A and B are shown apart, each in its own frame.
Chain A
Amino acid sequence: MSTPNTPTEPIDPDRLKEIIDRNPSRLGIGRSGPRPKTSDLLTFRADHGRARDAVWTRVSDDLIEELGLYRIQTAVADKDQYLARPDLGRSLSDETIESLKTDCINEPQVQVIVSDGLSSTAVETNSKDLLASLNDGLQQRGIETGTPIFVEFGRVDVMDAIGEELGAEACVNLIGERPGLATAESLSAYFVYNPKRGTPTAKKSVISNIHAGGLPPVEAGAQVAELLTEMLEKRASGLDLREDDRSFQK
């Protein structure tokens, strides 16, 4: 978010600053009569524009190539349809399934997927550091990974379809989050063990808020690797992974 105005003549400027610094919201920006100040209005619109751009732009081919990702597309034809038909964002065409099976490693322990989701910006900003750190973490633990895949027009649950078709033991989907006015760069990592189409959300895990101002992507990579390791050890994800803890009392 761009830096907003500070109000004129606050009663306690130090305290106001503390409150503003603690919170990414547009606090204490003052006003002009009943209206926001021009610069604040422009900032707001610029942030809104950034959020829209994050949804409407595409992840660049250069990045996909640089990261060495195998590119596929869901059953969605374009952005308009992507927004209108979440179901298609989880589906793969027969041709795509065929090429996945031919070109990608079958039956990996871990299938890493990157999806544009609702923010291409999030993928552009975070995936390089995250993947580097994630690959180190998996490699150091001797976990076999499949061919890393980029999905255009992907929803979270596209990992169920991809994982099922490739026979992966576990999947992680690094996906751009719905952008907000505070940041358009937030990425999440969703996890499923034993992916099958229609796996309920309760069986999925997530590490969210991955961006420079939240969980730093390089740290997220290490955490994703660790959670995947735990999933493989316990053969579970989502609520099943945490079931034992709930009765924990020391």
Chain B
Amino acid sequence: MTFGIHTEGPESLLSVGIDVGTTTTQVIVSRLTVESGVGNNKRQVTDREVLYRSPVFETPLCDHKTIDITGVADIVQQCFNEAEITAAAIDTGAVIVTGETARRSNATTLVEHVAKESGEFVAAAAGASLEAVLAGRGSGAAAHAAETDSTVVNVDIGGGTTNAAVFVGDRVVETRCCNIGGRLISFDTDGVVTAISPSIEPLLSEIGFEVRIGETLTENNKRQIADRMAACVVDLLVGPPYEPITESIAIGELPTASRSYDTVVFSGGIGALMGEYETQTHEKTVAYNDIGVELAAAIERHRTVHSWPVRSFGEHQHATVIGAGTATTQLTGRTQSITGQLLPIRDAPVVSVGAIDSIGTKKELTETLTAARDRGADLYEAMLQPDGEPGASNTPPLVLSIDSIGVLSYDRLNMIAASIAATYTEPTEPIVIALKDNCGKALGQTLQRVLPESQPVVVIDEVAVSDGDYIDIGEPIADDDTVVVAVKTLIFGE
């Protein structure tokens, strides 16, 4: 605790999670409790309570390539009405576009639209790895790994993708993702194939199936396909070595070392169906109109899965949306420095300067910082609009992230501030610095002394961000100095 001799009471943030997946769209509203940690001055999220949980909606599509953005926005609005909240009351949260939806042509427009409509500080995010991690946090797998200090894999199987995240203790060590999901083949009520995702075609051709739209699949055919899909999921989790088919449908790099798991958790729509397998009926298969129920059954009967310590912590279908709504928010140390009314900042791209602890002179450091800025300008060329007016409200500032400052002396901070000033020569250009060390206020104060008054500066500390991350920085919560930082990873359609 920094200020005051007594312990400060908790504060709360209203957080929203919106998951637009291949098959389903869900919304949750939760309350995050923020308190000072014991023995340090860092504010932490200490409790997460889900206040509202939407029904599972079918993701509205205009056609198989385009998401119905208005339809999604209507769902979100309907949920807000039911939860009795307004966009203005929302402090933080995330919209996550997952599975096949992330590959649709208008996915970027969708997240931006929904994020903007859903309150000031809702982060937009997509990408299989991030989804895997969020699902693991939402399902309870991450908490179980941390509590028992064991290795837990959360396997989130949705309509389009399977995203597994491996948690060891309180760390995420790897993700394993591939294109297996319950909505890759859809039927009508008579069992006639109405849609096949191109991502399932390698698997179908491997087992010698040529499924065409308009054909009817026999129960036996469905079973065979589902068994092959289940085998791929198992292979994804136990490899290497991986079967060629697994490699061909993998999303991103697959890990190069195999793992054994103390606990296996299944989540997502298929995870939920697996729990209900005993009561499965033909009607249900038809109700979903896809291969999902077959896939869930196939995974359940797979011999390897039988040998696994499978557990459930009560969250399946909603795992990702809960993760998105409760686990995407980071808080800074309460020691940042802010001038020039820059906040809130949205979608600011991060470029990593790296550790500067071995850099001793202003000249050298200015060169390093300038090189990082140039690299950032290249990296985010389209976004930063180089010929746009600097500081224009629609152009997010580039965030320089500095890992380790080295010896935190007064003289050294002066040198660093002077180098930053020398790097930003345009007097109205906003400067945004993210530090891993706890010296945000000192650096901010020093920068204010050396920079012209017109220059807006934001220094946040005790946050770890790097290349490829985008951050939103909210306004300080209460009259506390902590700001909400949402770190986003935007990766579309790998």
- Which B residues fall within an 8 A CB radius of A? 2-6, 8-9, 11-14, 41, 91, 149, 169, 335, 337, 408-410, 413, 437-442, 444-446, 448-449, 477-480
Q: Which of B2, B8, B410, B478 contacts A223 (CB 8 A)?
A: B2
Chain A residues within 8 Å of B439, by CB: 216, 218-219
Q: Which of B4, B41, B437, B448 contacts A242 (CB 8 A)?
A: B4
Q: Which of A202, A222, A245 contacts B5 (CB 8 A)?
A: A202
Q: Which residue of A lies closest to B440 (CB)?
A: A219
Chain B residues within 8 Å of A223, by CB: 2, 335, 441
Instruction: Of the listed stretches A29-37, A94-102, A107-115, A130-138, name the one at the interface; the rest are far from the partner chain.
Output: A130-138
Instruction: Report the Cα distance A245→B8, complex, angstroms.
Output: 8
Is B5 a contact of A205 with CB atoms below 8 Å? yes
Minimum C-beta distance from B148 to chain A (A): 13
Instruction: Report the Cα distance A129→B439, complex, angstroms.
Output: 12
Q: Which of B11, B408, B445, B477 has the most CB of A within 10 A?
A: B445
Chain B residues within 8 Å of A207, by CB: 2-3
Do A15 and B438 form a contact, CB below 8 Å, given A140-B448, A207-B2, A242-B8?
no
Is B4 a contact of A241 with CB atoms below 8 Å? yes
Minimum C-beta distance from A249 to chain B (A): 7
Task: State the majority secondary structure of interface residues on A.
Answer: helix
Does A92 sit within 8 A of B, measured CB to CB? no
Interface residues of A in 197-245 (CB under 8 A from B): 201-202, 204-207, 212, 215-219, 221-223, 225-227, 238-239, 241-242, 245
Is A238 a contact of B335 with CB atoms below 8 Å? no
Interface residues of A in 116-148 (CB under 8 A from B): 128-129, 132-133, 136-137, 140
Q: Which residue of B lies closest to A128 (CB)?
A: B410
Interface residues of A in 146-176 (CB under 8 A from B): none
Is B13 a contact of A136 with CB atoms below 8 Å? no
Do A249 and B409 form a contact, CB below 8 Å, given A136-B446, A207-B2, A222-B442?
no
Instruction: Report the Cα distance A51→B161, complex, angstroms.
Output: 59
Chain B residues within 8 Å of A245, by CB: 8-9, 478-480
Is A250 a contact of B14 with CB atoms below 8 Å? yes
Chain A residues within 8 Å of B6, by CB: 239, 242
Do A219 and B4 form a contact, CB below 8 Å, given A140-B445, A246-B9?
no
Is B409 a contact of A218 with CB atoms below 8 Å? yes
Is B449 a contact of A219 with CB atoms below 8 Å? no
Q: Which residue of B lies closest to A191 (CB)?
A: B3
25 contacts between A and B (CB under 8 A): A133-B410, A133-B413, A136-B445, A202-B5, A207-B3, A215-B438, A216-B438, A216-B442, A217-B408, A219-B408, A219-B439, A219-B440, A219-B442, A221-B410, A222-B445, A223-B2, A223-B335, A238-B5, A239-B6, A241-B3, A242-B3, A245-B479, A250-B11, A250-B12, A250-B13
